Structure 1
Amino acid sequence: MKVKSIKDITENPFWLSSALPYFFEGYGKEKIDINIMYLILPFILTKSIRDSILITANSSSSFDSLFYTPASKSKNKKNKMFETYNDSLMNKTSLVVIEEKYHGYKELMNRVLILAFKEGYFSLKNAHIVPLKVYDYSKAKEKENFLFDYFKCMRNLGIVFGKESTSNLYRKCQISKI
């Protein structure tokens, strides 16, 4: 499969819009600042973040625990100090791409939000998203294919984002120009 074909599939606004209710489930609040929505795609569509960080997150995970503390606390390694430092550095390094991808995915996120709004996944109220449909990722029919991992990561990202203010998220992602 060609790289362009893979990009066309993963950056398809139709399936991305249908995945938003899983983010809403994790976020768990009645309304979401619309600016937070623009942070979703850089995390979800970055393979290194999705496959090694978000997939392992759980309900007790926070932004700091995922990106600023070592991922391998429980690993039994000979050189624990080096491994711990290395994992922590790798997670922090993953954040470096977020600002660039944030600006690159803005237009795609606009299309995703328009489609999701038309599909009735949310309404808008005073620059906030009000979720109308929330899906439980554990009941997704797609458990046997690649979409299930995306849905789980969307939910986990919602959990992590739900614990932070919009300004803290942008600061931690080092995004200064919105």
Structure 2
Amino acid sequence: MIKWLLPHPALSVMLLAVWLLMANTITVGGLVLGAIFAVILPKFTEPFWPDRPRIRFGRALAGYVVIVLYDILVANFEVARIILFRRNRDLRSRWLIIPIDLTTPEAVTVLAGTISLTPGTVSSDVSADGRYLLVHALDVADAEAEVARIKARYEARLQRVFT
């Protein structure tokens, strides 16, 4: 019954949360309307998700979210320090080509979004075969070490989240 009513529970939760955030207030009417959308929209879009990935909710996802939030906080201070106290000629901006071992497009999208959310880096492109991600980094001393850090810190955790 639950599987029929909520074919994609994560999407339903996200839709309800986004609806409440857009409403900017929590009212009974807003909650009911958001819940209706959260049930109806995934039901209508279910045929477009035939091979949807399995997402592990729990420790793997919670750990990933904590790491990402921590990295965003730290990167904000690092970028501010770079902008305020370093000269442009001292910047070591680089293009990084990151080989991707993730298998689902959703996991690759989350990886690219995570990299773009972290100040100082932006995901620019995914190769046509989906095996490489092109990333621009504001200040990188060692490109190979940065690629290894991204793979170990984000991609390895995403592999545990997207089973």
- Say whether the fold is shared (TM-score over 0.5): no
Q: Tell me which structure has the larger Cα radius of gyration.
A: 2
Q: Which has the higher strand share?
A: 2
Higher RCO (C-alpha under 8 Å, 6+ residues apart): 1
Q: TM-score, normalised by structure 1?
A: 0.23
Q: TM-score, normalised by structure 2?
A: 0.24
